[in-house]
Structure 1
């Protein structure tokens, strides 16, 4: 008989203590362990990975028939897998890695699962940017011979290297990483899995799969524990991916009684409106237009990029903040919104977004008959050149913010609501992590709601 002694450290980690076998109890080692886990997990089905089974008899005897077990449940079945065991008397870390697989930026976070402790978080540019800045370009690249395999290897190889670096920084081995949870849009998850995204952009716009099964890490070529499991958040069709599902779960939108809205702004913008009874969603391009797509000095968030900006209303001196507090080299989306809002509040642009020469003064110069406003002088710039925004840049920003507001207005009107009816407005995504809602309201990108209405979620995919 097994001892009725066990501990539940976490949903993934179980402590077991078994009675040793004897002539009176000759139950097989695997069955002995399974029976205990079945009771703990309240399930009828536990399977043991072959790699664990091969070391099981030696480890149980070495550890006095006690073990710390790593278990994972199938997505849609009452079936648990035992994927790893360790000595309960040793302090081996059991680690998971969360991945936000963005079109432009990828973020990974290592978590010590027994404590829920975040060990490290790091981000990097998606290496697929070298093939194309948007998913459409990458999908078409997959039509070329070897194109899909190339894009798949690019992200897998980069993830392996970055996870290795993160583990080294924490003093752990990649074999201690037993889980990966990954969220991304439908195209990104297809490329991660090595699935053709060809039909995502062709009528009737069908993905290969919506809810990927939990797979072993080595099936994807990931260099974590080979028996580790990879969970990919499900998508809903071609345009709403696991990153949006993660945002809904993180915000609690589907659990709220009053209708609320979630805006997840990254390279694309996804908007979800609803409550515990219903949800409606729509999507459109947004992020690129507020970064490299609008201003000549626009770029994705990174070291030296202006992410916050204020203009003194009395002196009209620009007060800028850059990521990592380095010399400015460009401006990202949140900085662009702050800039436009402050230019308007200090009367340096009018209602149409046009520069006002008599107010801008010497900061406004003409180049090839186009007005340019100096944001950072050459002496203070990290590039050695002045950072300037043109009238054309401002015009593009106005069109982008108008498109964003139109999305919000359209989705609320489609269910017979007005934006003023919203009591909670969740803002998520890489861009949403830095946006100042007051600035976005000032330029007419977000509705004019009470400040307490806006809830900034940061990166909801993690």
Structure 2
């Protein structure tokens, strides 16, 4: 049974009379109470007049719109007829892209899907640059306005695709994002997020109404934000736990979500421990010159024939290639290592790379796709600078995983399942990531992609009271480790900056090429 964030409850109240002088809103509340478990709903001041006028105009019968505001029923509107569709929007509030679905809260059906580039990018591609921008005069206001405008564009597109008469017919919004993005969304000062001891202004913001934020959806729509745990551990990872069911598993499992940061959580239904670190930008196309988001034209898989050196690749959408997304970059570098065209340090070996390797003013460049075969006529290349960035990212990733598991005395072999979230999980080849030493050397059946778990969790919050309650409980249950001041992490990072690792015994299934 669905227990959505917003409900339309049918009402037929006794008409007022000289013998019954109950006030209009009091009358409505009294009739609603039995359907709300006996509790009286609350009416926000800004909705008092609207609800009372509409209740009387409808002849004291129709449909009451009730928001679930952190367990408290809030009466925000009254309609003469129940709405044909009670629409709610689930939002993945990403640093680079926003992705959303529109759901029918009465049935759980998906009405529309859409995505959009985050309009804040013009103020900085990364979170740190945006936090610095927020410190300028009007900087925070600009960042807030940009993200609200992006959400409004996305909501308008969803409403159109779903055939709604207006975007204002959207009655609820659940938001899943990292801690910094939530601060920008709520117009909260993010400056302390990047300064020791890294404390947010709020981890678990209370629900609010859309009109308070300037959103284009119904002004009385409830806006529910998933809670965060720390500066680098946001509601998007709480969503991932909800979507994967990690917190309900009897066995110890791990969830990995790679985006702007690499966020990792380990545990089961008894305990959960988590950390986050900057391992993501090179993996999502933010560092490599030819890097791009996992979208049409991105090379997602690469193979190199060990005998002929011929390169085969697959692009998302099957069109001509434009660049490399994270999974394509991982595949390519793993294949370069297996064919001995790069060494264990991630450096090109000119004597083995052949004619695809070109020397330039910025070092060697490896031509993956010639210009004549590319979408825009420009060759797709991998430079030594890109390789170095990937080596840092892969080292950070493995160091994060080993530091976290070591904190609780869990070996990788003890993990029942490793859930891999986001575009990283959807497209990555775990085997190639193991070759690089990015993921632990485990049987491939251990790895399970879970797609956009941030959006999936936001959808569950829209539809299930239990998911909302779980999200709040999780924020208090998870132990968070701050890696910025963790010396063990730095030591493990140094040891991980080789392919697959300084200690090859950790990767017995990966060929080891000693020497040049």
Q: Does the residue aligned with 1:277 lie in a helix, a strand or coil? A: coil
Among residues 2, 16, 22, which one is paired with 2:10 in the alignment? 16
Distance 1:280 1:192, change over 3 A: same
Residue of structure 2 in register with 1:46 after alignment: 41
Question: Does residue 118 in structure 1 map to residue 110 in structure 2?
Answer: yes
| Contact preservation (8 Å) 1:425, 1:453 | yes
Q: Does the residue aligned with 2:378 lie in a helix, a strand or coil? A: coil
1:45-92 C-alpha deviation (Å, 9 max, x unpaired):
21244222221122245xxx343x3322221xx52012334455x662
| Contact preservation (8 Å) 1:305, 1:328 | yes
* Greater fraction of residues in helix: 2
Among residues 170, 173, 180, which one is paired with 1:180 in the alignment? 173
| Contact preservation (8 Å) 2:131, 2:190 | yes
| Contact preservation (8 Å) 1:18, 1:32 | no
Segments of structure 1 that go 5 or more residues without pairing to the other structure are 1-6
Higher relative contact order (CA 8 A, sep 6+): 2
Distance 1:356 1:144, change over 3 A: closer
Matches for 1:54-133 after TM superposition, within 5 Å: 54-60=53-59, 65-67=61-63, 69-75=64-70, 78-86=71-79, 88=81, 92-133=84-125
Distance 1:354 1:210, change over 3 A: closer
Residues in 2 aligned to 1:231 and 1:445: alpha-carbon distance in whole angstroms: 35
Q: What is the TM-score normalised by the length of structure 1?
A: 0.90
Cα offset for 1:391?
A: 3.4
| Contact preservation (8 Å) 2:2, 2:107 | no
Q: What is the TM-score normalised by the length of structure 2?
A: 0.81
Cα offset for 1:234?
A: 1.0
Residues in 1 aligned to 2:352 and 2:143: alpha-carbon distance in whole angstroms: 50
Question: Does residue 149 in structure 1 map to residue 141 in structure 2?
Answer: yes
Q: Does the residue aligned with 1:336 lie in a helix, a strand or coil? A: helix
Cα offset for 1:397?
A: 1.7
Residues in 1 aligned to 2:225 and 2:362: alpha-carbon distance in whole angstroms: 52
Residue of structure 1 in register with 2:262 after alignment: 269
Residues in 2 aligned to 1:307 and 1:43: alpha-carbon distance in whole angstroms: 55
Cα offset for 1:105?
A: 1.5
Residues in 1 aligned to 2:249 and 2:55: alpha-carbon distance in whole angstroms: 46
Let me know the Cα RMSD of the aligned residues: 2.5
Residue of structure 2 in register with 1:4 after alignment: none
| Contact preservation (8 Å) 2:365, 2:381 | yes
1:278-328 C-alpha deviation (Å, 9 max, x unpaired):
111111112212244543212233332222333345654333233333321
Moved more, 314-323 or 254-263: 314-323
Q: Does the residue aligned with 2:402 lie in a helix, a strand or coil? A: helix
Residue of structure 2 in register with 1:222 after alignment: 215
Cα offset for 1:14?
A: 4.2
Q: Does the residue aligned with 2:241 lie in a helix, a strand or coil? A: helix
Residues in 2 aligned to 1:354 and 1:143: alpha-carbon distance in whole angstroms: 40
Cα offset for 1:335?
A: 1.2
Cα offset for 1:222?
A: 0.3
Cα offset for 1:95?
A: 0.7
Q: Does the residue aligned with 2:453 lie in a helix, a strand or coil? A: coil
Segments of structure 2 that go 5 or more residues without pairing to the other structure are 456-516
Residue of structure 2 in register with 1:165 after alignment: 157
Residues in 1 aligned to 2:305 and 2:31: alpha-carbon distance in whole angstroms: 67
Matched length? 449
| Contact preservation (8 Å) 1:426, 1:457 | yes
Q: Does the residue aligned with 2:58 lie in a helix, a strand or coil? A: helix
| Contact preservation (8 Å) 1:233, 1:243 | yes
Among residues 126, 129, 137, which one is paired with 1:134 in the alignment? 126
Residues in 1 aligned to 2:261 and 2:15: alpha-carbon distance in whole angstroms: 59
